[in-house]
Every structure is written in structure tokens, then in C-alpha cells.
């Protein structure tokens, strides 16, 4: 896949490391450049040993680690040598700080004109938010997500996952791949900027533009089907289930099968547009129906007539999910220092190319000597011809 592509990873926490995890899984040689203190994620828990928490084991698989203090002239010189051999550099350091360190885009690209220099930051650097600090909660708030949840639930809330970090991380990965493809065709490196804020604004507005799509606006933002409290997993006789009739046939088959065909005779629900305009009331009827059967009965019924449906899984249940078990999504691996751990599989399946685990997550600075020796060999080969 990306064999032979060398990526210098100067990112930390979650957004950038998730992006470089994807690149590493696709075969790139990802070199994680860490400060002497290491990525702050190394301090998280649970962990068996300091610096190697559970979150780190998957987030930093297929990477090597070297420790460099970029404020120290000798270490800065080492990074410059590494840049000359790299295909991609990804960093999440604020722009002014990188300039002060001597690793702004102009200086770096002068060392290697074919380099893809990717800036993974909070906000676009040509706007007034350029120097604002950004973490996932900040972007959830600023990009409208928490307010959108508040319209439905009554008060702004955060989604209980680092959603904005991971959305931006995927955007970094595909942006780097596009830049590498451009270089393959033209020979040109370039600077790529992937900001969390703008990436998540665009992500959130895919369906939620609504009336603001038009000039002048024909209404407010918010996709109607999502803006109701009755859009939720339904309580069953023994748990909760997602039931999602969507097409015309789905709705007819669902209510006919449970003996409630009269529901669709109601003018509020008789066609697609009417259903969307009255979706809160329709979902309330679904909630009443759901109480009549168990979760398993509903899933089997919906599967039998091709209506989208899933039981509500706990995260803890995913390891015993029959589908994930059958495809081998979770593998028990042995880490050289951390022992047995659960490796989360690569979700994308390719008919060609290797996306297997090649390297376990590195200890802080584990590969420093190895990387420096490689660098010496590359430079020697270049000098001798």
C-alpha cells in the first residue's frame, strides 16, 4: 500500500496520531518524534507500565519513536537530516512556535521540495482564530454540535467521544494521500493545512444546512428527522433497540407485519414528505410499539423484512459481537513490554496490499538508535552515488 513512504509524525494527543495510525496501517514508515517528556497521552490510564497506557497501544501501532528536543541545536539538526529523507511531515504545533523553532513551512520545504508538509491545527491560519488553542470539546462547541444537541435535549451537551479529533484525523489522512498522489503525477511537494474547526463545521453541515442552503434563507439549520427527542433507541420488553424503517416499502412492511397498517392511512404519515414533517409523532408511535416485544424479537423481525435494526450494544459487548468475532476484528496480541492486549482491526478491507500489524506501539524513544543508524546509511549512500 504505502510501503516506502516515510512519515515524520510531530503530533500529539489524538487528532494527529489517529491520522498517522491510518497511514501506518496502510504501510507507511511512521516515525513518531517525541519530546523528552513524551506525548501527553502516555500519561493516561489504565496502564500496566508508565508511559504505555491502553489507549496508546492501538493509537500508535505501526510507528517508531525517537526523542528529540527541538530547542536543542543538536536535536534540531537531526530533525533537519530526517526531513531530507522524508515524504511527509505532519505536525500539530502552533504555527508561530514552529517558526520560532526553525521548522515553519518555508524553511522545511527548502530542505526537501518534494515533501508533503501537513499542518494539523485547530483553526485556519489566515483567520482571526489562528492562535487559539483547540481541543475536541472546544471544537464541538464552536462548530455547533453541542448547541444542536441542546435543541433536541434541552441543554448543550458534548458527545461522549473525541468526535472532532477523529473527524479531523481522517481528513488529515485523506489530504496527505491526495497530496502524495499529486506529487506522483507532478513531482511537486506542497503545504497542506487541515484545521479541526473548519473540517468539523463542514462535516456537521452536510445534512444540517437545511434552510440555510438558500440565499436568502428559507428556514433555520437542522435536518428535520434528527431534530426530535423521539429519535432514539426504543425501550423493548428487555432492553433497547434501534429500529429504522426508511423507505416507503420499509414503513408499509413494518406496520403491516405488526397489524398496524392503519398508521400509514393517517394523512400525517401517508407519504415521505408528510412523514418527515411529522416525524416526532411517528417515532412516538414506534416507541409505543417497541414495548410489545423483546430486543431479539425485534431484530429478528426487522431482519426478516430488510428493515435496518440493531440491538443497543455496550462497548463492552463488542468483543462478543458475532459479526466482529466471525471477521476476526479483535485480535489478542503480545506486546514485548506490555504483555497481552486487544488489537482493534483495520476496518477497511483491500483485495491487494498488506494492512497487517507490523510493529507494536513503541516505548518512548525506543527506536532512536535504529533511526539514526538508518539516517547515516542513507546519507552515506547519497554521498557515494
50 and 182 fall within a common domain:
yes
Q: Alpha-carbon distance 62 to 20, whole Å?
A: 9
43 and 151 fall within a common domain:
yes
Mean pLDDT of 3-17: 97
User: In this structure, is residue 357 part of a structural domain?
Assistant: yes
What is the SS3 assignment for 228?
Answer: coil
Q: Which residues contact 247 (CB under 8 A, 6 or more apart)?
A: none
Instruction: Give Cα separations from 81 to 84, 245, 320, 345 (angstroms).
Output: 5, 58, 47, 34
User: In this structure, is residue 171 part of a structural domain?
Assistant: yes
Res 306 pLDDT > 90: yes
Global pTM reads 0.95
54 and 198 fall within a common domain:
yes
Q: If residue 91 lies in a helix (H) or strand (E), which one and from where to where?
A: strand 88-91
User: In this structure, is residue 226 part of a structural domain?
Assistant: no
What pLDDT does 38 receive? Answer: 97
User: In this structure, is residue 211 part of a structural domain?
Assistant: no
Mean pLDDT of 228-247: 96
17 and 72 fall within a common domain:
yes
93 and 238 fall within a common domain:
no
Question: Could you give phi then psi for residue 216, rounded to 5 degrees?
Answer: -70, 165
178 and 304 fall within a common domain:
no
User: In this structure, is residue 224 part of a structural domain?
Assistant: no
183 and 272 fall within a common domain:
no
What pLDDT does 354 receive? Answer: 86
162 and 240 fall within a common domain:
no
User: In this structure, is residue 340 part of a structural domain?
Assistant: no
Mean pLDDT of 134-143: 97
Identify the CATH number of the domain in which residue 255 sits.
3.30.1540.10
User: In this structure, is residue 254 part of a structural domain?
Assistant: yes
Residue pLDDT, tens place only, 264-295 = 999 999 999 999 999 999 999 999 999 999 99
Domain count, the chain: 2
Q: Alpha-carbon distance 182 to 174, whole Å?
A: 12
141 and 75 fall within a common domain:
yes
User: In this structure, is residue 68 part of a structural domain?
Assistant: yes
Domain span at 250: 234-311
Tell which residue, 8, 55, 61, has the closest CA to residue 33.
Answer: 8
CB 290 within 8 Å of CB 234: yes
Identify the CATH number of the domain in which residue 71 sits.
3.40.50.10540
Mean pLDDT of 251-275: 95
145 and 27 fall within a common domain:
yes
305 and 370 fall within a common domain:
no
Amino acid at each position: 500500500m504505502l510501503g516506502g513512504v516515510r512519515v515524520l509524525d510531530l503530533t500529539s494527543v489524538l487528532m494527529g496520531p489517529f491520522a498517522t495510525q491510518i497511514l501506518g496501517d496502510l504501510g507507511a514508515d511512521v516515525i513518531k518524534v517525541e519530546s523528552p517528556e513524551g506525548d501527553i497521552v502516555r500519561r493516561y490510564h489504565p496502564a500496566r507500565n508508565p508511559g504505555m497506557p491502553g489507549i496508546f497501544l492501538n493509537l500508535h501501532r505501526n510507528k517508531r519513536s525517537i526523542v528529540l528536543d527541538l530547542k536543542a541545536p543538536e536535536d534540531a539538526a537531526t530533525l533537519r537530516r530526517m526531513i531530507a529523507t522524508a515524504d511527509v511531515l505532519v505536525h500539530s504545533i502552533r504555527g508561530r512556535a514552529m517558526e520560532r523553532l526553525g521548522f515553519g513551512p518555508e524553511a522545511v520545504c527548502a530542505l526537501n521540495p518534494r515533501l508533503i508538509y501537513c499542518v494539523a491545527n485547530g483553526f485556519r491560519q489566515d483567520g482571526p482564530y489562528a492562535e487559539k488553542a483547540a481541543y475536541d470539546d472546544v471544537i464541538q462547541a464552536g462548530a455547533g454540535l453541542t448547541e444542536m444537541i441542546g435543541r433536541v435535549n434541552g441543554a448543550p451537551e458534548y458527545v461522549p467521544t473525541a468526535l472532532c479529533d477523529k473527524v479531523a484525523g481522517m481528513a488529515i489522512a485523506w489530504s496527505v494521500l491526495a497530496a502524495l498522489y499529486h506529487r506522483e503525477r507532478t513531482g511537486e511537494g506542497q503545504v497542506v493545512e487541515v484545521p479541526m474547526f473548519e473540517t468539523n463545521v463542514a462535516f456537521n453541515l452536510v445534512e444540517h444546512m437545511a434552510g440555510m442552503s438558500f440565499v436568502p434563507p428559507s428556514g433555520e439549520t437542522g435536518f428535520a428527522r434528527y431534530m426530535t427527542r423521539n429519535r432514539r433507541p426504543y425501550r423493548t420488553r428487555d432492553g433497547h433497540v434501534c429500529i429504522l424503517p426508511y423507505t416507503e416499502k420499509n414503513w408499509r412492511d413494518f406496520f403491516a407485519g405488526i397489524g398496524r397498517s392503519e398508521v400509514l392511512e393517517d394523512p400525517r404519515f401517508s407519504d415521505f414528505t408528510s412523514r418527515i414533517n411529522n416525524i416526532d409523532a411517528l417515532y412516538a408511535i414506534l416507541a409505543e410499539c417497541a414495548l410489545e416485544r423483546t430486543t431479539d424479537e425485534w431484530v429478528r423481525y426487522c431482519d426478516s423484512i430488510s428493515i435496518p435494526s440493531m440491538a443497543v450494544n455496550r462497548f463492552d459487548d463488542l468483543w462478543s459481537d458475532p459479526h466482529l468475532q466471525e471477521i476476526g476484528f479483535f485480535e489478542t496480541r503480545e506486546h514485548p513490554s506490555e504483555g497481552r492486549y486487544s488489537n482493534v482491526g483495520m476496518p477497511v478491507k483491500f483485495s491487494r496490499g498488506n494492512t497487517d500489524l507490523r510493529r507494536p506501539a513503541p516505548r518512548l524513544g525506543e527506536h532512536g538508535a535504529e533511526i539514526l543508524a538508518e539516517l547515516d546509511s542513507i546519507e552515506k549512500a547519497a554521498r557515494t552515488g
